[in-house]
Amino acid sequence: MKQVKFKFLKYIKFDTQSNPNSNTNPSTVKQFELAKELKTELENLELKNIKLTDKCYLYAALPANTDKKVPTIGFIAHLDTSPDESGANVNPLIIEKYDGKDIILNADDNTILSPADFPELKNYIGQTIFTTNGKTLLGADNKAGIASIMTAVEYLINHPEIEHGTIKIAFTPDEEIGRGADHFDIKYFNADFAYTVDGGEIGELEYENFNAAALKIQITGRSVHPGTAKNQMINSINIAHDFHSMLPDFSRPEHTEAYEGFYHLTDISGKISETTMNYIIRDHDIKKFEDMKLHIKNITDSLNKKYNKSVIKYEIKDNYYNMREKIVPVMYIVDYAKDAMIEAGVQPKIKPIRGGTDGARLSFMGLPCPNIFSGGHNFHGKYEYLPLQSMIKAVEVIVNITRIVHNKN
């Protein structure tokens, strides 16, 4: 299972950053480079039904090695890395037998990974840790998931004494920009249920996620020379300030945790005559989620009434919904993962995802798909790190799931 180390270090050399401003599928052609490498590896392992689509979805199947009729399981990970930080020229630091002290990622700009800022580091004293060099992200999200799945498949092939049903795997593009399930072929994949291997720290097991929407606010002002502006100028920047101030302060990401939702202003640009703001809206509870969207309407109506004209227009687009309602009727698939972790000596940490995964959308497309850990921390930035032992345990959990599903059916 330690082969997972070498696979991970190979995969992170591929720059697979997705691009939210692209209208192509996939959003970046470079994601194909890793997909092609994985396709070759799958062919060398002699898996079946291997297909790389023109949209950069890679599918394969490991046939059953038993005559027993058992469910077909899927394991899914995404190819792309976050647009938030460069994924090119990733040169990780490999910290052997971590001593619990500060790790200098980049001495030139004094970038330090410190347990004072990230106390979870203390959980990995004595272990091997992969970190960034302070200039890029690491790519554990989700190349740790890819490496874990590929290693688990190879392990099962090399250990035919482990009986299992048909196992499907898929690697998807553009998950980081919310498009990972856009062109996923559920019919071709043809699994009874699946797991995304896309979680964080060791033990994470998740079957709840945010309901999510994107909000775009467009404000139209009136630009007049400030010397003669009285009762004439309408400053759209001031209206933007008024709008934002009418949202509850405590419902921002920096003040929320667990099941608490938020409004998050992601960007703003403007001048006197026009201002645009983009938000994301999140909540696990569908009723609260709908109330948050209604609150946007009420604020907009109030400000338009104040100015006696339509100065604000908004557009809300739902992105995905809480997969809990699709998982609860088949909770035994969560139990399989829970038991698999316990068998691997891992304490399951069942908690809601404060975000979304491909699995959320796939669950609503008819493929129930909870999420299990891949082991990384501090995704999407230069403080990302990955304990090797956590990734090895992710491999064990995948293997254990296949065995448990066979034995319990």
Apex CA 87: angle with CA 82 and CA 92, to 5°? 120
Give the three-class secondary structure for 381.
coil
Among 80, 85, 141, 339, the active-site one is: 80
Identity of the amino acid at 358: D
Determine which one of 85, 175, 204, 206 is catalytic: 175
Q: Tell me the H-state helices in 117-223.
A: 140-158, 186-189
CA-to-CA dists, residue 287 to 226, 282, 292, angstroms? 45, 12, 9
Q: For Cα atoms 158, 161, 163, give the angle at the middle one, nearest 5 degrees.
A: 105
Contact status, residue 373 vs residue 206, Cβ threshold 8 Å: no
d(CA 133, CA 292): 40
Beta bridge partners, 316, equal 215
- Is 80 catalytic? The answer is yes
Q: Return the closest-CA partner of residue 405 out of 164, 152, 67, 74.
A: 164
Amino acid at 158: N
The question of whether 141 is a catalytic residue gets the answer: no
> How many whole angstroms separate alpha carbon 146 and alpha carbon 157?
17
Residues designated catalytic: 80, 175
